[in-house]
A and B are shown apart, each in its own frame.
Chain A
Amino acid sequence: MNRRHFLNQLGSGFGSLALAGVLLDDGLLAASVSPGVGSAVKVLHHPAKAKRVVQLFMGGAASHLDLFDYKPALEKYHGEKSDFGEHVEAFQNGLGPWMKSPFRFRPYGECGKYLSEAVEPLGDVVDEMAFVHNMVGRTGVHSQATYLQATGFDTPGFPGMGSWISYALGNMNENLPTFIVLPDRRGFASNGPKNWGAAFLPTHHQGTIIRPGTENPIDDLIARAKYVSAESDSRTLQLLTKLNREHQESRPGDSRLEARIRSYELAAKMQLSAPEALDLSQEPQHIHRMYGLSHGLNEFSKEINPVEEADYFGRKCLVARRLLERGVRFVQIWSGNDNGFPRRNWDSHEDIQRDHGPLALGMSQGAAALIKDLKQRGMLEDTIVLWTTEFGRMPSTQGSKGRDHNPYVFTNWLCGGGIKGGISYGPSDEWGYKPLDRDNPTQVYDIHATILHQLGIDHRRLTVRNNGIDRRLTDVHGHVIDELLA
C-alpha cells in the first residue's frame, strides 16, 4: 500500500475514514491553497493567510476595563453614583458607584495603546495586536456565554470552533491530534469539555485534553500495568496486526477493518511523538525564563500569586508553541476554573485587584512570550492568536471592589495570521458599558467569520446538515471584519 492510499483511507491522523483528503506535499507547502489531510473542505475557498489558531479563553469573564479598555471617565468620576441613562439589569445587581480600575494605565508601543499594568508584558507586542472593544454577548449567564464564545451557540449540542476547523481543514501531522485543549489545571470552566466537543461532527474532531506538567498529561497514552513492558507492547502490536489482518483478508471490501489496523500503528507513533512534543526540558533556559518558568520554586503560596499563575499559563503557552510547530492545527488554552471559591478565575464579583492582578500578570507573561516566540520562529505570520472571554465587567462597583457581569460590551484581541497589528477597532462608550455605536457592535460570529476567512474558508460555505438545518459555526450571522485584516 502506498502512502497516498494510506493517507486517503485514514483521512486525518486521528483516523477519519470517510473523508478522503487531498494529499499534501510533505513540506505542507501547499497550505495556503489546499487544506490538510482528512479535510471536509477539499479546496480552500480562497487563498489562506493563516493555517493555525491559538485561542486563549479567560473563564469567568475577564474585565475589559481593567486590562485593555482604558476609561479616563471612570478615574474622573470614581466613587460617584453611577448613571447608565437607562434601566440596567445586572446579574447580581452590582450597580454601585462608578469605579476606576485599581490598575494604572499607560501607553505602550509605537501605536501608543493604553494598557493596564496588570498586562504590562503585552506592552512589548502591542504593535502586533488588534483590539476589538465593541464585542457584545447575548446574556450575562456564564454557561450560555461560554458556549456562545466557544461554539457560536448559547445552548449545548454544538461543536467548538476548534472542532469546526479540524473538520474543515484536517490534519497537518498524523501523529498528533488536530485540536488540542489545555485546560486550567484547577478545574474546567463552565460547561467543561462540552466547550470543545465535536457534537454532530465526527467524534475525532473533539478537542483532545493535554495537561502539561502533570503526571499523566494524556489519557491512556501508555499502559500502567506491571505485566506490560515495552517488549510485550511491541509484540502485542505485531501479533494483533497479524490476527486483524487475517480477519480483514477474509472480509474484503470493508475499509474500516483496514483503518482499524492502521489506527494501532498510528497509536504507536503517537506514543512516541506526544511525549517528545511535551518535553520542555529540550527548551533552552532563556525560553523558560521568557515563559515565566524559571522561578525555581517547587511549591507555591496558598494565596493566589502571579508567579504561580505565570507558571501555569506560561507552561501551556510553551507547550502550545511546540504543538503548533509540530503541525497541530488548533490549540485552546484556558485560564480560570469553575466560578467557585477561592477564586481561581476571572469572575471578580468581590475584588478585581485580588483576582485580576495575579491572573492577568500570569496570563500576559505567557501570552506575550508566545507571541514573541512565534514571531522569532517566523510562525506568527500564519498563526492567529485570539484572546477571548465570556463577557465583560461593569464600570460600576459590586460590593466595594468587585465588578458584576457586563454582557453588553467586552474586549477581544487577535494577532498574527494576517491580522493588522497595533489597532483598536470598534470603541466602547466612555464608561465601557456598551459599544459607542450601539447599532453596529461586533459579535462572536464576526470574530469567527474573520478567523475562518484568514484560514481560507468562507464561513457561509462551511456547513453540516444536522436535524434539518445546515449548521454553520456562525449560525445565520457573521461578517468578516475587513478593518482587522492587514
Chain B
Amino acid sequence: MKLVVVSAAGLVALLIGMDQVSHAEESQFRDEVAPILQQRCLSCHNDVDHKGDFSLESATVAFREGYIEPGKADSSHLIELMTPVDGKAQMPKNADPLSVAEIAIVRKWIDDGAKWPENFTLTETAVADLNWWSLKPLHRPPLPASWSSRTRSTNGGRPDDSSRQPLRLRTPIDAFILEKLSDKSLTSTSAADRLTLIRRLHFDLIGLPPTPETIDAFLRDDDPQAYERLVDRLLDSNGYGERWARHWLDVVHYADTHGYDKDKLRPNAWPYRDYVIRSLIEDKPYERFVREQIAGDALWPNTEDGITATGFIAAGPWDFIGHAEVPESKIDGKVARNLDRDDIVTSTMNTFCSVTVQCARCHNHKFDPITQEHYYSLQSVFAALDRADQKYDADPHTAYRRTELAERNTELLREKAAIDAEINKRAGSQLAPIDSKLAELQKQKEAAKGARPEFGYHSQISPRQDVEKWVQIDLGEPTVIDSILYVGCHDTFNDIGHGFGFPPRYRIEASDDESFQTDAVVLADHSQADVPNPGTNPQTVKAPGGLKARYVRMTATKLAHRRNDYIFALAEFSILTPDGQNAASDKPVSSPDSIEAPVRWQRKNLVDGYYFGVTASPDIQTQIARLTDERQAVLKHALSDDLKAKMADNETELKATTQAIKSLPAQSMVYSGMVHHGTGNFVGTGASGGIPRTIHILHRGNVQQPRQRVGPGAIPIIASVDWKFQLPESHSESDRRVALANWIVARDNPLTWRSIVNRVWQYHFGRGLVDSPNDFGRMGKLPSHPELLDWLAVEFRDGGQSLKKLHRLIVTSSVYRQSSAHDERNSQTDSENVYLWRMNRRRLTAEEIRDAVLSVSGKMDRTMYGPGFQLFVLEHPQHSPHYEYHKHDPDDPTTHRRSIYRFIARSQPDPFMTTLDCADSSQSVPRRDETVTALQALSLLNNKFMLRMAEHFTERLQNETDDKLNQVERACRLITGRQPTTEQLATLVAYADEFGAPNLCRLLFNLNEFVFVD
C-alpha cells in the first residue's frame, strides 16, 4: 500500500472508512452517495482510466490522494472541484455540474465522516429492473367483452357501406380496436369501396397493381366470401413472397456489395435473398425461420435452406480493407473484427427481439437491463465466424451423399494412416529416400499444370534503368553444376504478358563467396549489348565442365522497362546437377530488394519449380514410374500378405470415394456467416479448428483495453432461463448459435413474439402498435394497444406461427377495410391516427413505383430468383468498383424484373431508388421514410427509365387498341384502376392529340393517384 503519500486526513479516513460503518451510514453511502459518484464521476475516475490520477472505484484508491477529508467537506478538494462558480464547475469535465441537492448529499457524507462500507466498490451503474412492458411475460389477454356479445352479421361479408356504423366485429382485432376507439371517443370510418380495397390489397400483399380485368372480376363477384378469396389468392401467389421479402431484407440490411471502402461485389449474396422469398411463400413456421437464419447450417446441415439462411449473419456491411489488408494481430484489425461482430449482434437482436443491445458496447445500457457483459457474451456467440462464401448443395440428396462420402473418406484416410504407420515400421528406412524423391518429382509434375498465380520474383521499382539488381541462390554447400535454366514471367493479373521484367542486359555467375567478391565464374554474360526479350521461353546456359559452387547469382545490369520506371522480374531459376536434379529447388533466395506480395510475387517463387508453360518432361514420368516400381518391390518384400491386401483394398476404395466426390454435381455458393479457412491477412478461425475467438469485455469498447473474459450468452430477460448459456466444455462454435437461436424462439421469450407481430402489423397499417419496431426498450415507444399486441403475439406463437395466417387475420378485419377518408372531429383528438379511426393512405415505396411502372408498361418480366440484375454499368471491378448508373440502358430487358431481384450496391446506391426513399442497406431500416420532395418530382418526370417506360406504355396501348379514346381510357384504368370522368377523358385525349401518347403516359406516371394508395 502506498500509505506514504497519504495525507494524515486520508489515513484517518482509511481507518475510519474501513471499520465500524453503521447500518445507517452504509445505506446512506450505498443509496445516496454511491449512485451520484457512479453516474457522474466513475466514467473517468476508475481504476483503468484513472483520469487526473484519481479513482473512486474503491475506498483504498478514493482516499489515497487526500481529495476527501473526512469530517471536513469545506476543505475537501473533491467538493471544491464539483462546486460550480458562475454555473461552471471544474468537474465533471465537459458536462453539466452536479445539482445543488447532489452536492449537498456528498457534503453531508463527508461531514459525517465519509464512511465507506468495507469492501464496497463502485461499479458502473447497470439497469436491472425488468419492470417494463416488453419484458413482462407474455399472456393471452382476455378478449374485449364486445367480442363475446357480438351479433352475427347477416349481410354475408359484404363491406358495410352504411357510414357512421360502429366497426363491424369481424375478428377479435376489431373488438380490441373498437374498445380503444370508444375509450378515446373516436369513431371508426365506413368501409372502403371495393375498388379501393382491391388496389390496397394488391399493393399490400404482392406489391403490384391489380389489372383492370382482375378489378372487374372482383367488382362483379357476388360470392359473400369474394374478399376472403381474393386475400387467399394473393397470399398464395409468388408475388406475396417477393413483396414481403423486401420488408425483411430492409430490417436485416441486405445488399449485394460489402459497403465501406471499395464497396466490392458479393456475387453470392442472392441465395439468401431467395431463401427469404421462398420461406415466405412456403409459410415456414416463424421459429424455424429464425433458427435457420442463426444456426441453420448446424440444425439442418444438408438442406439448401439450412445453409443459405445463414446469409442473414453476413447480410450487413463488411470492411474489406479492415479484414483483407489488416491482420487480426494489429489494432486496426482487431477494431475491424470487433465492429464486424457488433454488426452481427446488433442485427440479430434488433431484428428478432427489437432490443438495442448495441448500446452496451462501450458501457452498460443506460436504460435497459443489458450490461457490457451481456453484450460481449452475445459477441462470443458469433466469435468463430467471419463472412465468406460457403459452398452448399442445392439438392439435399447430393448434400447427403457428399457428407456420407466425406465421412467414409475420412475413415479411409485414418485407415491408411494406420497402414502407413505399419509400413513405416517394417520398411521405413528403405522407403524414405524413394518417397522423398518421388515427392520432389510429383511436385515438378504438379508444377507443370496450367497457369498458376506464383508469378516469380519482382524487384522494387527503380526510377533509373542503369541500376544493378540481382538475385542469388544459396545451394547450402558447393555443388556440381551442369547447367542453369531461367525463365521470364507471365503476369496474368494485368495481362502484362510474356517476359515481364526480363532484363535486356544481365550476367550469370557462380561462386563460393557469398558476396561474389572473389572466385566468381561467369556462366553467361549479356551485359554489353541488349538481348531480345525471350518471353517465357526457358533459357539454358551450360556450365563449364566440373564446375562446383555454392552460390549462383543473376545480375540485371540494365533493368527492364515498365511504364515510366524500371524493374527486374524473373519466374524461375533452376540449377541442374549432372543427374538432372534441380539443386535450387526450395533453396534460400536473396536479393538486395524485392516486392514481397504473396502469392504472386515473392523471392521463393523463383525456386518453386513452377513457371508459365512448364510441362513435365517425359523424363520425369519415367523416373516416377521407375521409383514407383522400386517402391512396390520394397513393399512386396517387406510386408505381410495380409497387410498388402489391406493396403490394396484401402487404395481402391479411397480412389473410388475420391472419384465419387469429384463426380457429384458442382456446389452452389452463398455469402454467409461461417468458419472461414482463409489465407493472407484474412485467415479466419478455420485453420485453428473453428474455435471461437476469445472475447473480453472491452473497457469503453476499446480493443486495447480488454477486461474480463466472457463466454456465450444472451440477456437476462427470461426469468426461467439463465442468460449465460450452459454448454459443455467441449462444445462446438455452432452449439453457441444453436443456443442463441433456441433462446430467441423460447416460448417464454417476451420479446420475440411481440416483435414479429408488431412488424407485420406495421407493414399493413403503416404504423406499428409499437411505433419503434426495432426498440422495445425504455427509449422506444409504448404500445398503443398493449392487449391487442399481446393477443396477436400469443395467437401467433401458439397457433402454428404462420405469417400468412396472421396476414389473413389482419386484412380480413374491419379495421383494415376502413376507408382512409379524413374526419375532422377524429382528427382533432388523434391527428396521427394512432387509434385507427380510419385506414392510412400511403405513398408507394420505391420498389412498388418501379414495379408498377414496369407492370402497366407491359414490360415486367416475372422470372423469379437467381443473381440480381444490375441497373448500372460496372467499371473497374478489380480495385474499387464504379457503379455507373447513368450508363445503364433502361431498355435492357434483363433489368425488367421485379425490384426485389435488383443488385444492391451498398455504398453507391441507385440514385433514382434512393430519391424515392428506398432503404439504406448500411443500417437496419424497420420502416421506410415517406418523403415528398422536388427531387422526387424531377426523378419521376425525367429519369430515363420513366421516359422510356412512357414510350413502352404507349406501345402497349397501341397494340391493344387502335382507338385513341379507348387508349386513353385504358391507360387511366391501368394507372388508377378507375374509369376517368368524362371531363378528364376529354382533357386527356385533347392533350394526347397535341403532345402525343408518350407525354400522356409520362403525365399519368406522375399522378398522385398513381403513387398513393387509399
Contact = CB atoms under 8 A, between A and B. Distances in A.
A224 B22 CA distance: 85
Contacts of B1008: 244, 247-248, 257, 260-261
Given A243-B984, A469-B356, A224 B944 contact: yes
B641 to A, nearest CB: 60
A190 B988 CA distance: 49
Given A17-B931, A141-B322, A143-B321, A227 B1006 contact: no
Given A190-B260, A220-B943, A240 B932 contact: no
Contacts of B984: 243, 246
Contacts of A261: 1008
Contacts of B342: 155
A222 B336 CA distance: 43
Interface in B931-973: 931-939, 941-944, 947-948, 950-951
A342 to B, nearest CB: 9
Interface stretch (B300-308, B387-395, B820-828): B820-828
Contact of B914 (A141, A206, A223, A341): A206
B331 A468 contact: no
Interface string A342-358: 00000000000000000
A239 B931 contact: no
Given A144-B335, A192-B908, A208-B935, A239 B1007 contact: no
Nearest to B981: A246
A221 interface: yes
Max chain B C-beta neighbours (<10 A), residue from A240, A248, A252, A261: A240
Interface stretch (A49-57, A264-272, A291-299): A264-272
Interface string A248-286: 100111101101110110110011000000000000000
A121 to B, nearest CB: 28
B498 to A, nearest CB: 22
A303 B79 CA distance: 66
Contact of B1006 (A194, A240, A470): A240
A220 B933 contact: no
Interface stretch (A101-109, A195-203, A365-373): A195-203
A187 interface: yes
Interface residues of B, number: 96
A91 interface: yes
Interface stretch (A8-16, A315-323, A427-435): A8-16
Nearest to B941: A223
Contact of A239 (B322, B325, B932, B1003): B1003
A224 B942 contact: yes
Contact of B261 (A16, A142, A244, A469): A142
A469 B882 CA distance: 34
A267 B938 CA distance: 6
Given A188-B908, A467-B356, A254 B934 contact: no
B155 to A, nearest CB: 27
Interface stretch (B649-657, B685-693, B917-925): B917-925
A399 B917 CA distance: 47
B259 to A, nearest CB: 6
A144 B319 contact: yes
Contacts of A216: 886
A240 B259 contact: no
Contact of B907 (A192, A198, A260): A192
Please classify how large the interface on chain A is, using the bins under 10, 10 to 19, 20 to 34, 35 or more. Answer: 35 or more
A236 B1003 contact: yes
A258 B820 CA distance: 16
Contact of A254 (B260, B822, B923): B822
A364 B876 CA distance: 29
A139 interface: yes
Given A141-B261, A141-B321, A228-B999, A157 B1006 contact: no
Interface in B867-919: 876, 879-880, 882, 886, 906-909, 911-912, 914-915, 917
Interface string A220-235: 1111110110001001
B841 interface: yes
Interface stretch (B668-676, B774-782, B793-801): B774-782
Nearest to A205: B931
B407 interface: no
B262 interface: yes
Contacts of B358: 467
B914 A236 contact: no
Contacts of A192: 263, 907-908
Contacts of A235: 991, 994-995
A140 interface: yes
Interface in A93-150: 138-144, 146-147
B627 interface: no
B326 interface: yes
Contact of B350 (A208, A224, A266, A467): A467
Interface string B575-596: 0000000000000000000000
A202 B94 CA distance: 30
A203 B927 CA distance: 13
Given A155-B339, A194-B259, A225 B943 contact: no
B886 to A, nearest CB: 7
A466 B331 CA distance: 29
Contact of B938 (A157, A220, A467, A468): A220
B934 A270 contact: yes
Interface residues of A: mostly helix, strand, loop or mixed?
loop
B932 A15 contact: yes
B260 A199 contact: no
A187 B880 contact: yes
B775 A154 contact: no
Contacts of B948: 225
Contacts of B820: 251
Contacts of A219: 886, 911-912, 939, 943
B947 A194 contact: no
B86 to A, nearest CB: 15
B319 A157 contact: no
A378 interface: no
Contact of A200 (B343, B827, B923, B937): B923
Contact of B1014 (A91, A200, A251, A264): A251
B259 A263 contact: no
A263 B934 contact: yes
Max chain A C-beta neighbours (<10 A), residue from B367, B880, B1008: B1008
A149 to B, nearest CB: 13
Contact of B322 (A143, A248, A465): A143
Interface string B319-339: 101100110001110011001
A261 B934 CA distance: 10
A236 B1002 contact: yes
B322 A13 contact: no
Contact of B779 (A190, A191, A341, A469): A469
B339 A204 contact: no
Nearest to B334: A139
Contacts of B1007: 240, 243-244, 247
B874 to A, nearest CB: 13
Interface of B: 94, 259-263, 317, 319, 321-322, 325-326, 330-332, 335-336, 339, 342-343, 350, 356, 358-359, 367-368, 460, 772, 774-775, 777, 779-780, 820-824, 827, 841, 843, 876, 879-880, 882, 886, 906-909, 911-912, 914-915, 917, 920, 922-924, 929-939, 941-944, 947-948, 950-951, 984, 987-988, 991, 994-996, 998-999, 1002-1003, 1006-1009, 1011-1012, 1014
7 shortest A-B CB distances, which residue pairs? A253-B822, A468-B356, A143-B261, A157-B923, A338-B880, A156-B922, A143-B260
24 contacts: A14-B935, A89-B331, A138-B335, A143-B322, A144-B260, A154-B339, A155-B339, A157-B920, A188-B908, A190-B260, A192-B907, A194-B922, A203-B931, A206-B914, A220-B935, A227-B951, A236-B995, A236-B1003, A239-B988, A251-B822, A256-B930, A260-B1011, A465-B779, A468-B356
Given A216-B886, A236-B1006, A340-B876, 4 more contacts: A141-B319, A223-B947, A251-B822, A264-B937
